Amino acid sequence: MTEDTRSMINDKVEKLSVPPGFVSLSSFTLKNLSSNEVACSSMAVGDAFQTELSPVGFTPTMDNIAMFKSNLSHRPWILYNQFDYKSNESDSELEMNFPLRACLPKGVVRGCSSCPNCQKVIARWHPEESHRPVLEEAPVFQPSEEEFKESLEYVARIRQKAEQFGICRIVPPPSWKPPCLLKERNIWETSKFKTHIQLVNDLQDQGIKRNLDRSHKEAKIKRRRVWMRSSGDGSLNEISTDANEAQSQAESFISKLGPELTLEAFNRYADDFKRQYFCKRENAINSDANLTAHEDGWEPSVENVEGEYWRIIENPIEEIEVLCCANVETGGFGSGFPVHSNSMGLPNYPEYRDSCWNLNNIFKLPGSLLGYENRQASAALLPHLSTGMCFSSVCWKAEEHHMYSLSYIHFGSPKIWYVIPGGYCYRFERVVKKHLPHCLEHPELLYKNISQLSPSTLTAEGIPVYRCVQYPGEFVVTFPAAYHSQFDSGFNCSETVNFAPFDWLPYGQHVVEMYCEQGRKTLISHDKLLLGAAMDAVREKWKCELLKKNASVCGKDGILTKALKLRVKQEAIRREYLCRGLQLQKMEDDFDSDKRDCSTCLYDLHFSAIGCSCSPGRYACLLHAKNLCPCHWTARYLLYRYEISELNLLVQALEGRLDAIYHWGKKKLDLRVSSDDLRELRNRGEVSASVKSAATSTLSQLLGPKELVTGQVCRKEEEEKYDLQRISAGSGSRQDTLECIDPNFGNITSKKGKFGKSQTVQNEVIVLSDDEE
């Protein structure tokens, strides 16, 4: 092309520039025609443009057209690369370029003109194409009657063997046969629950792609641009209101609602599906050979169902639709176990109502941390019911806060579990991102449990997967951080609850920080559990130091001590470096009675919070103090529940320091020695009329001369006198700490020397009054 021609084209393009403020609000589309030069010369760029170019007498080439597109690319009213532009909804289709499978024929047709809940199963079992994975079985434990008496203790006993698998099955003793109240007539026939529709053939990845595409469309429709004129200079500011986009994406992954059914109706529906799907045919040509499982006494085995399940997921040829119902709160629908608050007039069964294996009692058992949380405020503490049919699934997920879970099948067909040990959880997430690349852009999909990667795929990536088949009347325990999935081999009803013993604490703290990074809401307050357990441990320490008993979670190497020490150190660093110059305010006791979270990252605010007078009721964590509001830094204030010095003293109390135990026991927890404790202490010792001089000398160093009255101690209020008594604390080589006890009022003080070192008298406890202020 000559220089004159190029100059002329540029002049013409400049003439077509639209003045500011005159941009057309209506858009038109450039048609994508054939690639030959003649077709390109008729590109739809406007009649005026072609008319002005034609007198020049030059024929546009492909290079000319590319240059024209480049020069016109800044014009917003021309939309390139679209063939049938209709509305803004199609923008999302450009962004989502997923190669979806061809539409599969329906294998299940549900509902008809006369009955909306009937079904016709067209699909059939293909045993010759079974895709059953070959996996190692998880361990099975069969406790004796004695071992079965304490549930959490038994789980702790088998943890070392079972945790490396991520799951285990517990078969109760034959004598343990709890009744299932769900089969009572007023629940079985009348109580309804919502079901969800699940497409089994979509579980691996196609459902994610389709849902992402739909969520982008919905977000595009809801997105609006608001133009506001600012005061002063009259300039225009663009404000994007995309607040609903994230919510739109989250809602789009919720499966479609199915019909509301009773347990009786769901049982009939599930049995009918399985009977039709697995009906035996002598010959594919002979359509009369339609013998069902019940007609000839044959029923598919768990292995048959398992092989067909993975065939549908990995190589679907039909669309298989099933119904499922998961996470129904027992507080509303009712539990399968007997409960104390029985508003429906159901039988009591005290033996099973109070059992430690009753899932309604797990949270309040000794050794359970969830007992320190408000059960009404957190749905994580309530057992949940799940009802399923053949092929209904729960895709890969880890429990909230990486807690333990305990599941029990009340009745029905077996459930097949697949589990990845907790040590491989992050490696599993990397593999998911590799095979499902859309999880890179949408990391929240990892914990929405919407993908069912096959165990064969995971084992090929070097991730161990274990299999567990749970039968009715059996328990299954999943361990912290273990990813697991499951599906049902037929109609069944199970109940599941989370629990958190002391060995869960390291997992819990790590998960809280991970949720903070992800902006994910916590279901429980980890700090509340930690403080509640620590205070109970101080109460136990108070009695242990007095009565010489042992505490399993206390001491410098105790799990609780280590967890609290780490959390206090983290809190101290954040207060020191992130909150300098802020006003300090003591937090009210009921500050988080309704659970307060950071407005930025949803971090729990039980220990501390940042507030500002401009935003009452709105708070931030220490990490996001600057994000709270636009006010000056000094306008903010730090709310704290305890000072760092007090928290450090609590750690020292767990480690066994007597002055720390005294400070928290008496001044914070208002503890007193009960008369029963004093009586036990007296019964274990021998009363003597005099005190050895060595003991008196040690007491003098420990308490100081003003606090020690040799032979007698006066009580100022009533001027009563009583003999100083020595009680032998029993035999043994243990160094017993000096205790000062008021036998009338039960006050106990644990004294320290002036240099902070504990001073002891071997095998002696000196009893005298607490004469402090």
pLDDT in tens, 24-51: 544 444 444 444 443 333 333 344 334 4
Same domain for 435 and 542, yes or no, is no
pLDDT for 3 equals 56
pLDDT above 70: residue 310: yes
Q: Is residue 323 part of a domain?
A: yes
pLDDT for 2 equals 56
| Domain end (from 470, 500, 530) | 500
Q: Who's near 634: CB < 8 A, 6+ residues apart?
A: 581, 582, 583
Q: What CATH number should be reported for the domain holding residue 384?
A: 2.60.120.650
Q: Give me Rg for the CA atoms of the chain.
A: 36
Residue the block writes with tokens 């994007």? 240
* Sequence letter at residue 541: K
pLDDT above 50: residue 738: no
**Summary mean pLDDT of the chain:** 73
How many Cα neighbours within 13 Å face the side chain of 451?
A: 28
Same domain for 552 and 469, yes or no, is no
Same domain for 368 and 317, yes or no, is yes
pLDDT, average across residues 432-458: 79
| Cα→Cα distances 675→178, 243, 680, 744, Å | 41, 61, 9, 9
Same domain for 495 and 535, yes or no, is no
pLDDT for 674 equals 67
Q: Give the lowest-confidence range in 6-10, 257-261, 385-389, 735-739.
A: 735-739
pLDDT above 90: residue 568: yes
How many Cα neighbours within 13 Å face the side chain of 54?
A: 8
State the pTM of this model: 0.72
| Cα→Cα distances 386→263, 398, 476, Å | 11, 17, 14
pLDDT over 90 percentage in the chain: 43
Choose between 275 and 728: higher pLDDT. Answer: 275
Same domain for 432 and 524, yes or no, is no
Q: Is residue 456 part of a domain?
A: yes
Q: Is residue 97 part of a domain?
A: no
pLDDT above 50: residue 400: yes
pLDDT for 570 equals 95
pLDDT above 50: residue 691: no
pLDDT in tens, 347-375: 778 899 999 999 999 988 999 999 998 86
Q: Is residue 508 part of a domain?
A: no
Q: What CATH number should be reported for the domain holding residue 621?
A: 2.10.110.20
- The dihedrals phi and psi of 100, each to the nearest 5 degrees, come to -70, 150
pLDDT above 70: residue 151: yes
Chain centroid to Cα 436, Å, comes to 22
Chain centroid to Cα 628, Å, comes to 26
- How many other CB atoms sit within 10 Å of the CB of residue 555? 17
pLDDT for 563 equals 94
For the stretch 649-663, what's the b/e string if a residue is b when 16 or more beta carbons lie within 10 angstroms of its beta carbon?
bbbbbbbbbbbbbbb
Q: Who's near 372: CB < 8 A, 6+ residues apart?
A: 528, 529, 531, 532, 533, 536
pLDDT, average across residues 548-569: 80
pLDDT in tens, 507-557: 999 999 999 998 889 999 999 999 999 999 998 888 777 655 555 556 778
pLDDT for 669 equals 86
Same domain for 187 and 119, yes or no, is yes
Q: Give the lowest-confidence range in 123-132, 149-158, 755-764.
A: 755-764
Phi-psi region of 419 (alpha: psi -120 to 50; beta: other; left: phi over 0): beta
Burial class for 772, CB neighbours closer than 10 Å (0-12, 13-18, 19+)? exposed
| Cα→Cα distances 124→269, 305, 562, Å | 17, 12, 57
Same domain for 533 and 440, yes or no, is no
pLDDT for 118 equals 82
Same domain for 115 and 172, yes or no, is yes
Same domain for 587 and 664, yes or no, is yes
pLDDT for 440 equals 67
Model confidence at 1, in pLDDT bands (50, 70, 90)? low
Beta strands in 711-759 (DSSP E): 712-715, 720-723, 725-728, 740-741, 748-749
Closest CA to 742 of 712, 708, 721, 771: 771
- Taking the C-alpha atoms of residue 297 and residue 387, their distance in angstroms, rounded to an integer, is 25
Q: Which domain range does residue 582 map to?
A: 518-678
Same domain for 474 and 587, yes or no, is no
Burial class for 171, CB neighbours closer than 10 Å (0-12, 13-18, 19+)? middle
Same domain for 464 and 522, yes or no, is no
pLDDT in tens, 401-443: 999 999 999 999 999 999 999 999 999 989 988 888 777 677 7
| Domain end (from 441, 472, 500) | 500
H helices present in 115-164, as ranges: 151-162
pLDDT, average across residues 584-605: 90
- Token pair for 518: 């992800």
- The dihedrals phi and psi of 761, each to the nearest 5 degrees, come to -120, 125
Q: Who's near 326: CB < 8 A, 6+ residues apart?
A: 196, 384, 386, 387, 388, 394
pLDDT above 50: residue 122: yes
Burial class for 623, CB neighbours closer than 10 Å (0-12, 13-18, 19+)? middle
Domains contained in the chain, number = 2
Q: Is residue 542 part of a domain?
A: yes
Choose between 496 and 770: higher pLDDT. Answer: 496
Choose between 544 and 470: higher pLDDT. Answer: 470
Q: Is residue 643 part of a domain?
A: yes
Same domain for 177 and 314, yes or no, is yes
pLDDT for 150 equals 93
Residue 296 DSSP label: S
